[in-house]
Amino acid sequence: MNPGAHTLFVNYNQEARNPEMLAARKIARTYNAKHHEAAIYQHEAEVEHAYADTKGIVPMRNCLLISMASIVGKNVFGQSSVNVIIGAQHGDDADFSDCRPSFINKMNEIAQSFGVSVEAPLINKTRSEIVRMAEQYDMERPFMRDTWSCYRGNSQGGPCGVCLSCQQ
Binding span for Zn ion by CB under 5 A among 40-48, 50-58, 99-107, 146-154:
146-154
Should residue 166 be labelled a site residue for Zn ion when binding is judged by CB under 5 A?
A: yes
* Least Cβ distance, residue 104 to Zn ion (angstroms): 24
Should residue 16 be labelled a site residue for Zn ion when binding is judged by CB under 5 A?
A: no
Rounded-to-integer distance, Cα 164 and Cα 80, Å: 37
Rounded-to-integer distance, Cα 101 and Cα 103, Å: 5
- Residue pair 166/159 in contact (Cβ under 8 Å)? The answer is yes
* Residue whose CB is less far from Zn ion, 73 or 153: 153
Query: Which residues, at least 6 apart from 62, have a Cβ–Cβ distance to it below 8 Å?
Result: 86, 88, 96, 98, 99, 103, 104, 107
* Residue whose CB is less far from Zn ion, 66 or 163: 163
**Residue selected from 83, 150, 156, 158 as contacting Zn ion according to rule CB under 5 A:** 150
* Residue whose CB is less far from Zn ion, 30 or 168: 168
Rounded-to-integer distance, Cα 21 and Cα 6, Å: 14
- Residue pair 34/14 in contact (Cβ under 8 Å)? The answer is no
Should residue 164 be labelled a site residue for Zn ion when binding is judged by CB under 5 A?
A: no
* Least Cβ distance, residue 165 to Zn ion (angstroms): 5
Residue ranges that bind Zn ion, judged by CB under 5 A:
150, 152, 159-160, 163, 166
